[in-house]
Amino acid sequence: MSKILVIHGPNLNLLGEREKDIYGQTTLADINALLEKEAVSLKLKLHVVQSNHEGDIIDVIGKAKKDGFEAILINPAAYTHTSVAIHDAVRAVQIPTVEVHLSNIYSREDFRHKSLVAPVAVGQISGFGVNSYVLGLHAIAKLLKKISP
């Protein structure tokens, strides 16, 4: 069973409470439960982390290969647009990484239109709400050859 690291970035712990017009009413616990259920059907084992601290996220990414993770599903949240360090960490570990976002970052403020993580990710999914995570998990399963085309 492939081990997948799921990383939720800053302020995602506030989902369901903040900016419901953008992020909806789904909580982070709801997303995690949905991902766990989906992981069972895809024969994947998830380890989920949420942090509001850039260094903590970098530390988890940096240990990912040593800890046996075969892929990373990440919503870097605001760090998407600011963190060269997360970009460098993803590049350094050389583990397939899929970037996801609940909202369509390209239809929002101009500063959100550039992702520093996307160039080192195998792909990016944004704008589909909770389904962005599910689609990202399915993309990882395909990359790891866990499901057929």
Active site amino acids: 23, 101
Specify whether the CB–CB gap between 95 and 123 falls below 8 A: no
CA–CA gap between residue 136 and residue 76 (Å, rounded): 14
Structure tokens, 4: 């997948």
Write down the residue that tokens 């994947």 correspond to: 44
35 pairs with which residues across the strands?
Answer: none
Write down the residue that tokens 């350094």 correspond to: 92
Query: Which amino acid, 83?
Result: S
CA–CA gap between residue 4 and residue 2 (Å, rounded): 6
Write down the residue that tokens 């991902």 correspond to: 35
Q: Give 136's Cβ-side CA count (13 Å radius).
A: 33
